[in-house]
Amino acid sequence: ETGVTQSPTHLIKTRGQQVTLRCSSQSGHNTVSWYQQALGQGPQFIFQYYREEENGRGNFPPRFSGLQFPNYSSELNVNALELDDSALYLCASSLAGTGGSGYTFGSGTRLTVV
C-alpha cells in the first residue's frame, strides 16, 4: 500500500508565473485535500476534491485551482504567483464516509516565489 506522494519536493518560481503541484493519493482513497502552510503557521485549507469535483473551498482566491483525475490523483494550480504564495503545500488523501480515519499526508512541496 503506497502512501501519498507529492511532486516536486521543492520549486522556485518568479512572481507572475504559474505553477502546478501534483499529488498521488493513497491506494483506496478517493478524496484529496490541499493545504497551504506559511512559515511558522499551521496549515490552511485550500480546497478538497471528491469524485473529480471540488467539494469545499477555503478562503483562497480563484487563481488557486485544482483538478482530480479518475485515478484520484490531483493537481493544484496557482496562477499569477505572488511573493506571499511562498509556502509548504500539503496534500492529504482520505476515503469519504470514514470520518477521517486513515487521513494521510504527503511530505509537501515547498514553493518559493522570488
Contacting residues toward another protein, per CB under 8 A: 31, 33, 35, 37, 41-45, 48, 55-56, 58, 88, 90, 92, 94, 96, 99-101, 103-108, 110
Q: What values do phi and psi take at 83, rounded to 5?
A: -55, -35
- Give the residue with the Cβ less far from another protein, 38 or 80: 38
- Give the residue with the Cβ less far from another protein, 48 or 73: 48
- Give the residue with the Cβ less far from another protein, 71 or 101: 101
- Give the residue with the Cβ less far from another protein, 7 or 79: 7
Coil/strand/helix, residue 83:
helix
Nearest to 74 by CA among 103, 34, 109: 34
Minimal distance, residue 7 CB to another protein, in Å: 14
Coil/strand/helix, residue 6:
strand
Minimal distance, residue 55 CB to another protein, in Å: 7
Minimal distance, residue 39 CB to another protein, in Å: 11
Minimal distance, residue 73 CB to another protein, in Å: 16
Q: Is the dihedral of CA 55, 57, 62, 63 positive or negative?
A: negative
